[in-house]
Structure 1
Amino acid sequence: MYRFSNTVIGFLNLLTLLASIPIIGSGLWMAKSNTTCESFLQTPLLVIGFIILVVSLAGFIGACFNVAWALWIYLFVMLLLIATLLGFTIFGFVVTGQGGGVQVPGRVYKEYRLQDYSPWLRKRVQDPHYWSTLRTCILGSKTCAKLASWTPLDYLERDMTPLQSGCCKPPTSCNYGAATMLAQDQDCYRWNNMAYLLCYECDSCKAGVLEDVRRDWHKLSVLNVVMVVFLIGIYSIGCCAYRNSKRSQTDYPYGENRMKKVIPRWDFYLRRWWRDRREFLY
């Protein structure tokens, strides 16, 4: 049981060390790709992969070879990682708490309004450079091509993804059949039935992107909560491994076993007994 924590930490870090290799490989592979969507994920993947690699290597060396300073670095970085992940999770729940879409009467799908989402998310998609990147991704995904064969009945009976609802059609409230004096949504004037235009510059399309982000980020936040609990458990075991390594270096600096540590005690008591006997005899 004395080395159990070291064994567990060493095994877990060996697994994460191996797991970091395909993550780094994916980031390097994306660097060679010309697809904008894949290049967009390159930097986060490389950063995550290298952090996992360095932390796992330090934990593995420290736990398996009783290197106390390596375990200290491992625990320090792990503490920073837990704090960062916890802060990111709280931030994710805050920024994804709004939105969700509005049900359209007589339709299965929902429509999404940009003003329903958090200011931080709205600011991201309203940046022209950032939106140009996302627009290229949407065009490359051929999301709207799936709706090209739909009949008017399909629009009444079938559901749509947030991207399809916001980017591939004008808002349902738009009235193009007759002249009207009532003010319409600005997206009604941004719509164009050309396949490469559609409603890609509409606020509803940006809202559809944010709804996808909101859903994915909410799932990720729930997963992050599980990861934080898991990392806290690993951190606790790592503290035990660090204490074991420090104790091993202090008690057995030259690798002596525990029995050799006990021998000087018996020698001390034997010399003390002999000294008392000599004083009694003389």
Structure 2
Amino acid sequence: MYRFSNTVIGLLNLFTLVASIPIIGAGLLMAKSSTTCESFLETPLLVIGFVVLVISLSGFIGACFNVACALWVYLVVMLFLIASLIGLTIFGYGVSSKGSGVEVVGRVYKEYHIEDYSSWWRKRIEDPRYWNTIRSCILSSKTCAKLASWTPQDYMQRDMSPIQSGCCKPPTACTYSMETMVNYQDPDCYKWSNDPTLLCYDCDSCKAGLLENIRRNWHKLSLLTLFMLVFLIAIYSIGCCAFRNTRRAETDYPYAQNRITKIIPRWDYYW
């Protein structure tokens, strides 16, 4: 039974080794795609795929062929991954703790303001390089096209996603009569256009809707993140046992075998 940990580590790494191949393949396919949204995910998929491939290969070789140095590399990288995941989880909760929707009187949906969210997120999403890519993704997703057939009654009774609320319509408080145009209004009111390719895609409310969508998705993934941490820590513990077994095998003294040979007891031992 002392080889059980090596068998478990070998099987798990064989599974992740096979699973890394489709991930790398998906990244390579996205690299050839002309769609902006797909190319946006190209680099993360390739990095994750190659990292999983290297880790799985070193863990499989070390556990199944008793190569201690390969298992040592595997454990070091696993420890780095656990520490990185813990740091990422703490950082994610820090930047996603701010922000929420504002109730609109007489409406089911909420509206979102970019100043309610973390300054770290605001700084990056307001960068034209990032926002132009994200804007193209929202436009190609045809999210706003679903609202084209809505009647005024639908806007009173139906809910919207954060992106639809921020990107597909002007803020509810906006008025476009000649008397009110000279008064102060939300700057997004002047960025709105009836053109389906423009709408409110350059509004701060659109950026806030995207941040709200990211915040909600992060909270949904929080349980998965905690599960991954527990799973990785358990695998790391089994890997430590496999590393210890491999070192014992290399020293030619298997588990529970004593280095001191037995000798015949002296004549007066039983007295």
Q: TM-score under structure 1 normalisation?
A: 0.90
Q: Is the 8 A contact 1:92 1:218 kept in 2?
A: no
Counterpart Cα distance in 2 of 1:258 and 1:186: 73
Counterpart Cα distance in 2 of 1:149 and 1:234: 52
How far the C-alpha of 1:258 sits from its partner, in A, is 8.2
Q: 1:109 to 1:240 in 2, by over 3 A?
A: same
Counterpart Cα distance in 2 of 1:226 and 1:166: 33
Aligned-partner SS, 1:265: coil
1:72-109: per-residue Cα shift (whole Å, max 9, x none)?
00000000000011101111110011112111111000
For 1:229, the equivalent position in structure 2 comes to: 230
Aligned-partner SS, 2:193: coil
For 1:280, the equivalent position in structure 2 comes to: none
Aligned-partner SS, 1:193: coil
Q: One-letter code of the match for 1:193?
A: N
Aligned-partner SS, 1:106: coil
How far the C-alpha of 1:212 sits from its partner, in A, is 1.1
Structure 2 matches for 1:44-193, cutoff 5 A? 44-180=44-180, 182-193=183-194
Counterpart Cα distance in 2 of 1:7 and 1:78: 18
1:3 paired with 2:9, answer no
Counterpart Cα distance in 2 of 1:13 and 1:92: 28
How far the C-alpha of 1:178 sits from its partner, in A, is 4.7
Pairwise CA RMSD of aligned residues?
A: 1.9
Counterpart Cα distance in 2 of 1:46 and 1:219: 24
Counterpart Cα distance in 2 of 1:258 and 1:21: 36
How far the C-alpha of 1:223 sits from its partner, in A, is 1.6
For 1:195, the equivalent position in structure 2 comes to: 196
Counterpart Cα distance in 2 of 1:263 and 1:145: 77
How far the C-alpha of 1:251 sits from its partner, in A, is 2.8
For 1:247, the equivalent position in structure 2 comes to: 248
Q: One-letter code of the match for 1:82?
A: I
How far the C-alpha of 1:16 sits from its partner, in A, is 0.8
Please list every run of 5 or more consecutive structure 2 residues that lacks an aligned counterpart in the other structure. none
Counterpart Cα distance in 2 of 1:264 and 1:192: 87
Q: One-letter code of the match for 2:198?
A: L
- Greater percentage in helix: 1
Runs of at least 4 residues of structure 1 off by over 2 A? 217-222, 261-266
Q: One-letter code of the match for 1:15?
A: F
Give 1 or 2 for the bigger CA radius of gyration: 1
Q: Is the 8 A contact 2:248 2:255 kept in 1?
A: no
Please list every run of 5 or more consecutive structure 1 residues that lacks an aligned counterpart in the other structure. 277-282
Q: One-letter code of the match for 1:118?
A: S
For 1:279, the equivalent position in structure 2 comes to: none
Q: Is the 8 A contact 1:114 1:203 kept in 2?
A: yes
The worse-fitting range, judged by mean Cα deviation, of 219-228 and 194-203 is 219-228
